[in-house]
Structure 1
Amino acid sequence: MRIEHLRERSDLGVISAGTLKSLGVGNPWRRCASGGPWQRMYPGVVLLHNGPPTPDQQLTAALLRAGPGAVVTGAEACRRHGLPAGAQEIHLLVPGTARGSGTLVLERASPVPASSDVGGFPVVSAARAVVDACRFMRSADEATALIAAAIQRGRCTPADRQAEARTNRFGTKLVRAVLKELGRAESVAERDARRLSRRIRLTTPHWNATIAGPDGVIIGRPDAWYDAVGLAWEIDSRAFHYGPRDYERTLARNSRYAAAGILVVQTLPTRLRDNPDAVARELKAAHRAAAARPRPPVHIVEVT
């Protein structure tokens, strides 16, 4: 049979060895040998070219290997939801027993969780994907970054993640610990900032509070706000300030702080992580300076 006809029967160039044999290809594996025109993706699954597979072809081959009813979870599902999961394994949940190979993880689930069509693939909810991805992590910082990204980008709520961690408890010790420590923090940097603030025991800060002037005009939303002395603490990542618009917004924010008489401490997340003692000294000094001058007439406002 002509290769064009085989491709028509395939899905993105991915096809089962059984289908190939039914189409008259007697020994498809011979064409998958070194230097051949095809390649073996998984046992029983062939890609009809010998170049690097695309992510969609890799996932198509994994689902074909897993069989009917399989759904995508873990790091691959996170990426499909637009979340920054770095692990390369493809983790599928299947209704029956199946054997994975290499970076393909096949896990029996009863029942298989609900999925939705994401780019043509059956993908579990972002909350389930995040919890399953964290089960394969060893770093609390890596898990915290993924969990925080999911909530920041509106892919799931804290309640969704907590519910998934309670329901799917196998291997979730790390994610449950991270969820407990993260609390209402919005990033790894904010978690580190909360730790440091507790350690140095300054006046209790408000986190991500919205600050307004006496006329009610919004001034800013600092990462931490020491209301008793009118001190703002901003954890400013270079990654979010390289663009001209981001830089302009940061300058405008700092100008509003200055005009309102608010002292502000700016800290890079890397410095907070690598040199917390120096950051603590700077924060304490700024707090003393803020306390030594009249508190500016600003206040916290509720934003609905």
Structure 2
Amino acid sequence: MTQNTPLPPCHLRITSDVRQRVLSAAQLKARGVSAAQAAGRCGTGGPWQQPLPGVYVLHPGPLSGRERLRSALLHAGRTAVAGRRAVPRRSAGTDPAYGEAVVTGLAALSLHGFAAAPPAVSLDRIDVLVPRVRRLRSVRYVRLMRTSELPEPELLDGLPVAPVARALADAVAGLADAFAVRRLLTEAVREGHCEPAVVVGELNRAKVLGRPQVVNAVDSLLAESRASAEDRLYGLVREHGLPEPLWNVDLRLPGGPHLGGVDAYWPEEAVALELDTGAPRYGRTGGDRRQEEHEARWSGYAARREHLERLGVTVVHLSPGKLRDALEQQAVVVRTALMAAAAREPAAHVVILPR
């Protein structure tokens, strides 16, 4: 049965394809089923049901997780102006009837494979992003979240889904349970879904970074991210046969100013290594002050690096993500910096102190 083949209601039966079991009123009409016919089959004891306005499920039993998700998207994708079709912004494989609707929150995280996110079938609410100009209301198990910043969705199992960081921020915005927030944030970074800085940026955009349960979870997240990155750095040095550096030391000029701490330092080659595990922190102070503190922090990092390099010290920055996903490539970066030391002018003498 093709999508546009008109058939009487008795010929529309349950199939293995959820797209043929859950249909909008417009899709039924295209198949020759009028609104009155559809309503008649949804009566008491009827073979169909209408879980949401304008959406029909062609069987009477409980909805599966996929059916709940598709019905939510079909409801959210209903045209804003009668008689006009929504203009899809989706890639091939997405039903145009979804319009610009995007699954987000816990339902999206479940689709991304989060163990800490309940499956869609058990969620009391499915969050769906829609353009701010839409005037549809949240209803039953669907919460419509109007936004002027629709993310570019990922296509998961044929459904438009918000990227992990956006879905995470939208989920956290609706959670008061500190333990649940911590589990979600920790899994996002530990399982490699996204970097801490990206997570913190989205939490800031959602204006939830200042909530106590989020502050505590982010503190734990950043500490765990750094510990994992340090473990990978130790493995990089030892597994790839690099010279053993001095770990976690402070550098300063003899009798002069403090140059800052580094995660590893090779004194003979004058190569310093720093892990980029810091993430912008917002939400604890006012808007202008937050931005000023953020800019001051990163300006300080840049100034310190420039100072070290003027002294002849090569500074290598490695991110936790690159250590996780491309360890061998990062070993080459460090080895190249160490080998290049022989061709450089000798660095200024620095005092090395334990940190």
Indicate the TM-score class for this superposition, using the shorter chain for normalisation: 0.5 to 0.7
Query: How many Å separate the matches in 2 of 1:61 and 1:207?
Result: 43
Question: What is the aligned counterpart of 2:138 among 97, 100, 106?
Answer: 100
Identity among equivalent pairs (%): 31
Query: How many Å separate the matches in 2 of 1:2 and 1:44?
Result: 16
Correspondence for 1:133: 171
Pair 27,178 (structure 1): closer, same or farther in 2 beyond 3 Å: farther
Correspondence for 1:59: 69
Letter in 2 for 1:128: R
Correspondence for 2:113: 82
Query: How many Å separate the matches in 2 of 1:105 and 1:161?
Result: 23
Query: How many Å separate the matches in 1 of 2:204 and 2:162?
Result: 17
Residue range with higher mean Cα deviation, 162-171 or 147-156 = 162-171
| 1:9-28 aligned within 5 A | 11-21=19-29, 23-25=32-34, 26-28=36-38
Check whether the contact 2:109–2:117 (CA below 8 A) recurs between aligned residues: yes
Query: How many Å separate the matches in 2 of 1:46 and 1:172?
Result: 42
Pair 48,171 (structure 1): closer, same or farther in 2 beyond 3 Å: farther
Query: How many Å separate the matches in 2 of 1:78 and 1:172?
Result: 22
2:137 is equivalent to residue 91 of structure 1: no
Check whether the contact 2:176–2:213 (CA below 8 A) recurs between aligned residues: no
Query: How many Å separate the matches in 2 of 1:165 and 1:70?
Result: 21
Greater C-alpha radius of gyration: 2
For structure 2, list consecutive stretches of 5 or more residues without a partner in the other structure.
1-7, 78-98, 240-322, 332-355
Query: How many Å separate the matches in 2 of 1:72 and 1:144?
Result: 22
Query: How many Å separate the matches in 2 of 1:44 and 1:2?
Result: 16
Correspondence for 1:48: 58
Correspondence for 1:191: none
Query: How many Å separate the matches in 2 of 1:90 and 1:172?
Result: 25
| 1:1-304 aligned within 5 A | 1-5=8-12, 11-21=19-29, 23-25=32-34, 26-67=36-77, 68-83=99-114, 84-86=116-118, 87-95=123-131, 96-169=134-207, 173=211, 176-186=214-224, 207=227, 210=231
Query: How many Å separate the matches in 1 of 2:63 and 2:10?
Result: 17
For structure 1, list consecutive stretches of 5 or more residues without a partner in the other structure.
188-205, 218-301
The 3-state SS of whatever aligns with 1:11 is helix
The 3-state SS of whatever aligns with 2:50 is strand
Count of residue pairs the alignment pairs up: 200
* CA RMSD in angstroms, aligned pairs only: 3.2
Query: How many Å separate the matches in 2 of 1:152 and 1:4?
Result: 49
Query: How many Å separate the matches in 2 of 1:171 and 1:31?
Result: 48
Q: Normalising by structure 1, report the TM-score.
A: 0.58
Query: How many Å separate the matches in 2 of 1:105 and 1:63?
Result: 11
Pairwise CA distance, 1:175 = 6.3
Pairwise CA distance, 1:5 = 4.9
Pair 98,174 (structure 1): closer, same or farther in 2 beyond 3 Å: farther
Query: How many Å separate the matches in 2 of 1:7 and 1:17?
Result: 17
Check whether the contact 2:177–2:213 (CA below 8 A) recurs between aligned residues: no
Query: How many Å separate the matches in 2 of 1:98 and 1:19?
Result: 19
